[in-house]
């Protein structure tokens, strides 16, 4: 299967000879794929820190990786987007005066910073966008969003299938 941005991948260095359990393998995800010099495709990846598996090794830049050193891991995408539970996806919350009596207007939701959405990584850490600043941790969130994601995928497939 062709690799795509968003895929959860394992980097296998050449000296590991295809061994997925080699200690130098790195887990991460693809942020983009580009052709260089008009022909060879490379993937830009972010990798999880090996010291702390709940952190990304780099948060500000992706690392260029030859496509042939990557294999797709099948336990779900590296992140899943979900609707912000504080503003129900609108990105805004009502703003009241300090005594709480008078409605002033709408302001950016403090939980999602007005995006309306957040992403959850496989280790239940939240971020404002894939590879973006971390926004806390919510235990079990990835697993519950994965169920939602798989269900939606199945529903879309069923709807796309011709009637029997
Ligand atoms: Zn929000």
For the segment 128-135, the average pLDDT, to the nearest whole number, is 86
Ligand 1 center to 127 CA (angstroms)? 12
Is this prediction's pTM over 0.85?
no
Ligand 1 center to 147 CA (angstroms)? 22
Ligand 1 center to 138 CA (angstroms)? 15
Q: Does residue 113 surpass a pLDDT of 60?
A: yes
In tens, the pLDDT along 3-20 reads 888 888 889 999 988 887
Ligand 1 center to 160 CA (angstroms)? 32
Ligand 1 center to 93 CA (angstroms)? 8
The percent of residues above 90 in pLDDT, for the chain, comes to: 23
Ligand 1 center to 114 CA (angstroms)? 6
Ligand 1 (ion): which residues have CB within 5 A? 84, 86-87, 109, 111-112
Ligand 1 center to 117 CA (angstroms)? 7
The full 3-state SS of 46-106, as one line of letters, equals EEECCCCCCCECCCCCCEEEEHHHEEECCCCCCEEEEECCCCCCCCEEEEECCCCCCEEEE
Model pLDDT, residue 155: 67
Ligand 1 center to 112 CA (angstroms)? 4
Model pLDDT, residue 122: 80
Residue 113: Cβ within 10 Å count: 16
In tens, the pLDDT along 21-48 reads 788 888 888 889 998 887 888 999 988 7
Cβ atoms of 115 and 91 within 8 Å: the answer is: yes
The domains of the chain are located at: 8-72, 79-160
């Amino acid at each position: 299967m062709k690799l795509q941005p968003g895929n959860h991948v394992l980097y296998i260095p050449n000296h590991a000879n295809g061994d997925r359990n080699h200690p130098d393998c790195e887990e991460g995800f693809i942020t983009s794929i580009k052709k260089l010099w008009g022909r060879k495709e490379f993937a830009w990846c972010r990798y999880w820190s090996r010291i702390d598996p709940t952190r990304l090794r780099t948060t500000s830049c992706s690392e260029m990786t030859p496509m042939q050193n990557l294999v797709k891991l099948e336990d779900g995408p590296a992140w899943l987007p979900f609707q912000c539970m504080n503003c129900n996806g609108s990105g805004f919350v009502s703003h009241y005066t300090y005594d709480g009596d008078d409605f002033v207007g709408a302001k950016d939701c403090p939980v999602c910073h007005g995006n309306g959405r957040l992403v959850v990584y496989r280790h239940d850490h939240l971020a404002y966008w894939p590879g973006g600043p971390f926004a806390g941790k919510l235990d079990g969130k990835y697993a519950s969003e994965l169920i939602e994601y798989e269900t939606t995928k199945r529903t879309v497939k069923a709807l796309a299938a011709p009637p029997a």
